[in-house]
Amino acid sequence: MGGAVSAGEDNDDLIDNLKEAYYIRSDLVERAFRAIDRADYYLDEYRDNAYKDLAWRHGNIHLSAPCIYSEVMEALDLHPGLSFLNLGSGTGYLSTMVGLILGPFGVNHGIELHADVIEYAYQKLDSFIKTSDSFDKFEFCEPSFVVGNCLEIPPESRQYDRVYCGAGVQKEHEDYMKNLLKVGGILVMPLEEKLTKITRTGPNSWETKKIISVSFAPLALPKHNTNGKPKSVPLPKYEVRTLQELARICIRHTLRVTTDGGDSQSRGRGSSFSVGRGLAVAGLHKYGPRFKRRRVHRRHCNALVLATRQVVASSGIGPAPLDSNNNQGGRAEDEEEAGEREARRQMRGSRRAGRGAGAVVVEEEETVEEEDEEEEQEQQQEEQQEEEEEKETGELLRPQPAVNVLRERILGLPLPEPLKMYLLYYREK
C-alpha cells in the first residue's frame, strides 16, 4: 500500500509532499513527522527507499507507507495526556511520533507479536533518545512494548483513550477491539479493506467512519496452550513516576519555556506540560522558518511655516510606537539604513524647495513604500549573487542549525555533573 505521493529527497521533502497531497493536515502531526527521520527506522542497506511512499518489510520488520501513517495520526486526534495502545507496534516508529504529542503525563503502550521486532524497536527508541536533535524540543512520552498476540488481552484489562491496530481486523473481532476503548475514545484499524475510525460515544454506542481503502495482512490468530486454554498477554504496567523523575520533567520544562521567551502557552489542547513551546519557535523545517524583516512605518507630520514670501516645510518625527517586545520600533532599523533614508528625504525636500519661491507644498502623510521597494530590489540582488556563488562553488548555502539551548542551559547549572547528565537523559552531544 502506498505510492500516493512522490518520493522525497529527504524526510522534510517527503513531509512536504504529504502536506501537498493533504494527507498531513494539522501542524501538530506535521511537527511530529518532521521530528523523526523515517530512514532511521530502516536497516542501513535499505535507507535509500525510506522517503518513498511505500510500505517496507524485511523479515518480521515492517513499516507501513507514509500516507497510511499520516491518515492514522490525523484520525487519532491526539493531544497531551491521553493513553494510547498500539496493536502490532512493530519498529516503534508510530509509537515514538505519538509520544511526542502525548507529553510526559500520557500513556504509550504497544504489543508486538515478534520478540526480535521488540528488540529492534527498543534499539531505535534508545537511539532517538540518546542522539536525536528533536528529543530536547519535545516533552516525550516514552513507549513501552510487550511481546504477545493482541487478541489475547485479558477482558479485565484497562481501557485506552486511543487505540490503533496495524493489521487487518476480521469482522468477528470488531467488538473485541471496541471494548479496548474508553468512552469518548477513538479506535483506528483496517476493517474490511478500509481504514476505519470508530469513536465510542457511550457505553454501548459507536460512530464509524471509513477513511481510505487499504490492504493489510490479517491479524495472526492466537495459538492455544497444550491444555487447550488460550494464552493471556498482560499489558505493559502503568507505573507512577518517582519524585526524581517528576523533578527532571519540571526542571527541563522550566528551562525550555525560559529559553523560548517565557511564554508557557503551548499549541493545541492540554496544559503547559504538553508539547512545549519549543515546537513553535523551532519551526517546521529542519533549518527553521524564514522571517521577513519587520517594516516600521512612521508618520511624518509636516507643518507649514510661512516666512515673508518663502514657505518652509519642516518635518517633525515623533517617537515610534512600541513593538511586541517593548522595544521602540525605530531600533528595528539599523543606523546605516536610517541614515540613507534621511538623506533621501533631504534630497526630496531640496527638490521641492527649488520649485520656486511662493510655491506652497502641502504634504499629508508619508509612508516608506519607496524605501520598501528599494529594499526588496536590494534583497533580490543579494539572492541573485548568492545563487551565482552557489553555481561557482557547487555548494548550497544554508543557515547553520540552531544551537541546542536547552542543553547549554542544563550544562550551565551549578549542579554536580552526574545530576546534569541525569537531566540530559545521558544524551550524547
Catalytic residues: 64
CA distance linking residue 104 with residue 15, whole number of Å: 25
Distances (CA, A) of 248 to 52, 58, 104: 38, 38, 11
Q: Is 41 exposed, middle or buried (0-12, 13-18, 19+ CB in 10 A)?
A: buried
> What type of residue sits at position 254?
T
**What residues have CB less than 8 Å from 425, skipping those under 6 apart?**
129, 130, 135
Instruction: Tell me if 2 sits within 8 A of 54, measured CB to CB.
Output: yes
CA distance linking residue 422 with residue 300, whole number of Å: 58
CA-based nearest residue to 146, from 189, 88, 93, 98: 88
**Taking the CB of residue 314, how many other CB atoms lie within 10 A of it?**
10
Instruction: Tell me if 142 sits within 8 A of 241, measured CB to CB.
Output: no
The label of the residue with cell 508486538 reads 112
CA distance linking residue 314 with residue 294, whole number of Å: 27
**What residues have CB less than 8 Å from 83, skipping those under 6 apart?**
106, 107, 109, 158, 160, 161, 162, 182
Instruction: Tell me if 214 sits within 8 A of 194, measured CB to CB.
Output: yes
CA-based nearest residue to 272, from 263, 281, 280, 260: 263
**Taking the CB of residue 12, how many other CB atoms lie within 10 A of it?**
17
The label of the residue with cell 467488538 reads 175
Q: What's the chain's length in residues?
A: 429
